[in-house]
Structure 1
Amino acid sequence: MKKVTLVILALTAVMQLSAQQQAGRTLSLEEALEMTLSDNPTLQAAEFNRLAAQQERRAAIGLRMPQIGITGSYAYLGKDIEIDLNNMKTPVRDLAGQIFQSGLVPPELIPPLSQLLGGALSANWALPLQDRSLGLVGGDVMIPLWLGGKINAANRAARINEETAVSQAHQQRNALVSELVERYYGLALARQVVLVRQQVVDGVRKHLEDATALEAQGMIARSEKLYVEFKMSEAERDLQNARSQAETIASALGSTLGQAGDYQPVTAMFMLGRIEPLDYYRTLAAERNPLLEQVGQKRRLAYEGVRVQRAAFLPQVVAMGGASFYDYQVSKVLPRWAVGVGVNFKLFDGLNREYKYSAAKQTVRRVEALEAQAGSDIAVLVEKLYNQMDNYRSQMASIEASLAFAEEYLKTKNAAFLEGMSSSSDLIDAELNLAKVKTERIEVAYRYDVLLAQLLEAAGVSDEFTAYMRRQDTRRITFEK
């Protein structure tokens, strides 16, 4: 009796020691959610994406505004720009000769006039208009009056893109809540499995010690001892695997939290007495699921694509104007400002517009088909998750019956041992069987909580997970009770 009591005390001491070794920074689920939603890089990237879409929307507003620019230029021409009248000299000389011969000019005036005419005819008769070196600084303004609806379509598309970025951020947030629940409770479960595996190793080690002593006394065959050694190596291997899995899940939890560290989950798993009917979650998913919102936004974006392609068939009208602020050697003949209206209407472009317009309409039909399929898929997913949760709730009743049996069986074996009617091995096996049933119980609670988080994610209301934890019919599930 003293020997068995020492074994049980040793098992208890090992569990306490393992718990102390595994204990790190205690972390509740609410604290983990706060850390995840504030420090996770995925959410930060989603926020930057939303801000970028917001700026793109503001940029699209500028398409309605006048476009004002300032330009400066300098040019050096190959030659001066001028009007050459030198070819008029011969007709002028002939006309003057005819006038002199007609007698209309007094003889005494002909010599001075001839001398004057000769000097004029020898001069260069080119009239300069623009020096070959010139420069100017000016401004121009263009105001879109009508572009066939392209500007309106671009602004609506920019607003839709911003809404899509918000939906994507919401989707990332919901997915992170589900991921956190899975990894947070997964770490709690993995560490409990390590404790149970440690119990198994200690129990089998006691069996091995007994078997070694019995073999030395010739009371059992060597094969029986070898079998216990095989079970010992198997138990140690399972323990090592459990520890490795716990370390992996701990690293994954640190990644979700955005902060690496040794965390000890302290929020117990739970199960609910009842939840809303299936139709409630179907309706929520149809209204608030971020993926469905994004598909709807893609459909609206496809409609805007059709409007843009249709605008290519319409004329484009713009008002424009320009003025020179400063000029260098620019001819005064040139105007210093100008205003006007421009119209562009394309008559034929090789059917390019027609095919693009048709392609845009086909895109609308494709997105509409995807939207219908996505709605059906989400409804099926909600039903699947809901039914699985109900299945685990039913399993819990069966497991708790097994737990009651395991507890009563342990009491029976303990009483039988005290009366000398049961072996120490039977008592240890009863202890380990009780630990195994307790582990199965919290594993069912773990599966239930993960499914609940996924159901709320599909319904688009992951933020309500902590509210479900606080419901009056919530039942905490721990390893001990």
Structure 2
Amino acid sequence: MLLAQAWAADTAAPPGLSWQDAVQQLQQGSDQLAGARANVAYRQAQSEGVARLGGPIVSLYGAAYRYKASLDLNLDPLNQGLGNAIGLLPPGLAGLLPPLPPLPSDYTLERRNSNQTAILNAVWPIYMGGAADAARGLSKAQGDEAQAELSHIEEEALGQLAQRYFQTQLARRAAALREAVVQGVAEHDAALEKMLKVGVVSQLERLQARAALEDARHQARKARSDAEMAAVALARSVKLAGAPPTPSTPLALRSQPLAPLQEFIDQALAHHPGLAKVAAKRSQAEQAKAAGDALNKPQLFAFGQSNLSHNRDWVAGVGVRVNLWDSLDHEALSRSHAKQIEQVNAADAQARSDIALLVEKQWRSAERAREQFIGLAPQDELGLELLRLRQAGLRQGTSTALDLIDAELNLAKLRTERAQVAYEYVMALTGLLQASGQIHRLGEFLAQADLRVE
């Protein structure tokens, strides 16, 4: 019966979720990461779109048309002119001519026609002062910035996932210890009830045990609620529906020291996404300066045109454009670009200093937690040995049930503190790997750990 109940409880338990599975779930389900990936794809497509900028442009213009044109003519001056002309003739001749009919006072001329035309144009920029290269460089730098932003968002998401994942492990460990204490105190409380009836213990001891049991139950309920809330937060992070997942990768750390601090600093200065983003900003500023300078340089281009519908007429040649004057202050714009580059360089220097400091802080925190965890091992052994002595003393009559309860509470407290230190180590390690651009190696570091909080 007990085995059947145990099997049923095991099958009903939430599915185990390893750290690598949690990372995979995050990669697939994060809306923030999906948005950042879409931005990267957008910038890549934009770069592809301007890849051939500055090449030849060939266009075809075609039109079919029909028209009607009207012209109104005023004939009064012509009538007057004809009359004056006849009056100038000799009298004999003028009398022989029949009278001329008068012209209308106005007349409208109309013309209607239809036609079609087709023109082929070609323009080939030969030299644009570097404007096309600057545009391509700017687009690439924007793509690099989007990629750096994606890496930054991904590392932030993994850092938050690690916090929730191992916080769930810590909370589950604390809840299990508290529940074990409740079970032990409940057994001692029942024993003291029997001992009180036969007069072996006093009413005071019985009440102290009852108070200890109620406090243990309260602490266990609180620890269980904290564990459930942590599991819910983890489920939200990886977007798992149904019962909250049970993390299967334990809190763990290596007994050996981490690699030297300088190695992590070197990795950070080479791979931190924040520095990649600053580098992309610098490239954008440099390309903007190059584009501004290109406006003041001569531009050389070849051109050609052919009329496909009228005797195949064509024209071809080479043109040059020189900007003599416009309303922009190019010197001021050049200074602004130079200052922007100077600003980015200052931001890069500050970021490198801040990142190196963060790496050192996390490295020292991890080492301090590792040493503390190892240093707590004797206290754990001492607490366990004290519990054994109290158990033996209770059997021999040299210890009371309250002494045993205190020993159990003390051991649970020591083990909870040690689990907390292990959690602090994992969080410091996560921060260290995140600061050095290596957070994807967290699973590798945990797999190499030889000290585990099961």
TM-score, structure 1 length as denominator?
0.75
Residue in structure 1 matched with residue 250 of structure 2 by the alignment: 268
Q: Does 1:363 align with 2:346?
A: no
What amino acid maps onto 1:439 in structure 2? T
3-state DSSP of counterpart to 1:68: strand
Q: Does 1:411 align with 2:411?
A: no
What amino acid maps onto 2:435 in structure 1? A
Residue in structure 2 matched with residue 68 of structure 1 by the alignment: 59
**Alpha-carbon distance, 1:464 to partner:** 2.2
Q: Does 1:280 align with 2:280?
A: no
Q: Does 1:25 align with 2:12?
A: no
3-state DSSP of counterpart to 1:267: coil
3-state DSSP of counterpart to 2:259: coil
Residue in structure 1 matched with residue 161 of structure 2 by the alignment: 180
Residue in structure 2 matched with residue 151 of structure 1 by the alignment: 132
Q: Distance in 2 between matches of 1:409 and 1:57?
A: 70
Give deviations 1:253-279, integer Å, cap 9, x for gaps.
223323334322222222121321111
**Alpha-carbon distance, 1:396 to partner:** 1.5
Q: How does 1:54-133 map to 2 (within 5 A)?
A: 54-65=44-55, 66=57, 68=59, 70=61, 80=69
Match of 2:175 among 176, 180, 194: 194
Match of 2:287 among 288, 296, 304: 304
Match of 1:385 among 356, 362, 385: 362
Match of 2:411 among 429, 434, 439: 434
What amino acid maps onto 2:392 in structure 1? A
Give deviations 1:350-392, integer Å, cap 9, x for gaps.
x554443332222111111111100111000100010011101
Q: How does 1:441-460 map to 2 (within 5 A)?
A: 441-460=418-437
3-state DSSP of counterpart to 2:388: helix
**Alpha-carbon distance, 1:38 to partner:** 3.2
**Alpha-carbon distance, 1:37 to partner:** 2.7
Structure 2: runs of 5+ lacking an equivalent:
none
Residue in structure 1 matched with residue 26 of structure 2 by the alignment: 36
**Alpha-carbon distance, 1:26 to partner:** 1.4
Q: Distance in 1 between matches of 2:179 and 2:186?
A: 10
Give deviations 1:332-359, integer Å, cap 9, x for gaps.
9xx987777584736131x554443332
What amino acid maps onto 1:478 in structure 2? V
3-state DSSP of counterpart to 2:154: helix
**Alpha-carbon distance, 1:247 to partner:** 2.2
**Alpha-carbon distance, 1:59 to partner:** 1.8
**Alpha-carbon distance, 1:437 to partner:** 1.8
Closer/same/farther in 2, CA of residues 404 and 21 from structure 1, 3 Å limit: farther
Q: Distance in 1 between matches of 2:377 and 2:334?
A: 65
- What percent of counterpart residues are identical? 24
Give deviations 1:425-463, integer Å, cap 9, x for gaps.
222322232232222222222221222122112111222
Residue in structure 1 matched with residue 147 of structure 2 by the alignment: 166
Q: Distance in 2 between matches of 1:337 and 1:384?
A: 74
Q: Distance in 2 between matches of 1:166 and 1:58?
A: 16
Residue in structure 2 matched with residue 375 of structure 1 by the alignment: 352
Q: Does the Cα contact within 8 Å between 1:23 and 1:263 map onto a contact in 2?
A: no
**Alpha-carbon distance, 1:416 to partner:** 1.4
Deviates more, 1:354-363 or 1:381-390: 354-363
Q: Does the Cα contact within 8 Å between 1:53 and 1:158 map onto a contact in 2?
A: yes
Q: Does the Cα contact within 8 Å between 2:120 and 2:308 map onto a contact in 1?
A: no
Q: Distance in 2 between matches of 1:248 and 1:419?
A: 44
Residue in structure 2 matched with residue 347 of structure 1 by the alignment: 325
**Alpha-carbon distance, 1:400 to partner:** 0.4
3-state DSSP of counterpart to 2:450: strand
Match of 1:240 among 209, 217, 221: 221
3-state DSSP of counterpart to 2:50: helix
Q: Distance in 1 between matches of 2:354 and 2:76?
A: 89
Residue in structure 2 matched with residue 475 of structure 1 by the alignment: 450
Structure 1: runs of 5+ lacking an equivalent:
1-12, 102-106, 327-331
3-state DSSP of counterpart to 1:61: coil
Q: Distance in 2 between matches of 1:360 and 1:354?
A: 10
Q: Does the Cα contact within 8 Å between 2:175 and 2:220 map onto a contact in 1?
A: yes
Residue in structure 2 matched with residue 8 of structure 1 by the alignment: none
Give deviations 1:269-310, integer Å, cap 9, x for gaps.
221213211111111111111111111111111111112222
Residue in structure 2 matched with residue 9 of structure 1 by the alignment: none
Q: Distance in 1 between matches of 2:220 and 2:60?
A: 74
Q: Distance in 2 between matches of 1:378 and 1:87?
A: 95
Q: Distance in 1 between matches of 2:168 and 2:296?
A: 62
TM-score, structure 2 length as denominator?
0.79
Deviates more, 1:450-459 or 1:235-244: 235-244
**Alpha-carbon distance, 1:46 to partner:** 2.2
Q: Does the Cα contact within 8 Å between 1:315 and 1:346 map onto a contact in 2?
A: no
Closer/same/farther in 2, CA of residues 24 and 356 from structure 1, 3 Å limit: same
What amino acid maps onto 1:268 in structure 2? P
Give deviations 1:42-70, integer Å, cap 9, x for gaps.
33222211111111111222532426365
3-state DSSP of counterpart to 2:258: coil
Q: Distance in 1 between matches of 2:313 and 2:70?
A: 18
Q: Does the Cα contact within 8 Å between 2:149 and 2:277 map onto a contact in 1?
A: yes
Closer/same/farther in 2, CA of residues 324 and 90 from structure 1, 3 Å limit: farther
Match of 1:395 among 352, 372, 376: 372
Q: Does the Cα contact within 8 Å between 1:142 and 1:318 map onto a contact in 2?
A: no
Give deviations 1:156-206, integer Å, cap 9, x for gaps.
011112222222222233333333332222211111111222234445556
